[in-house]
Amino acid sequence: MTTSPKNVTFDDNNFWVALNDGRTLGVPLAWYPRLLRATPQQLASYELSARGIHWDVLDEDISIEGLLAGQGDMTKHRQAVA
């Protein structure tokens, strides 16, 4: 059985992912800078799949596997060279 998301909710500092196996994960928004900077309307505009959560407007994809492993944003940000 694949652990899949059923629902996502937000508070000021975290997002909460209810899983199909009965668990709920609390994840700091600070782990995902795009989510941290998003408006409430942008946060609410997510799509669930069997493997994760996708925000088209934010260009953000989060896998349940990664959340269960405790991984935050794995995007490498380039730093400007002076």
Which pTM value belongs to this model?
0.83
Distance CA 5, CA 26 (A): 13
Predicted local confidence at residue 80, as pLDDT: 45
pLDDT above 90: residue 31 = yes
Helix, strand, coil percent content, the chain, rounded in steps of 5 = 20, 35, 45
CATH code for 5-68?
Answer: 3.30.2020.40
pLDDT, tens only, 41-72: 999 999 999 999 999 999 999 999 999 998 88
Task: Please check the confidence at residue 25 and state whether its pLDDT lies above 60.
Answer: yes
Amino acid 82: pLDDT? 45
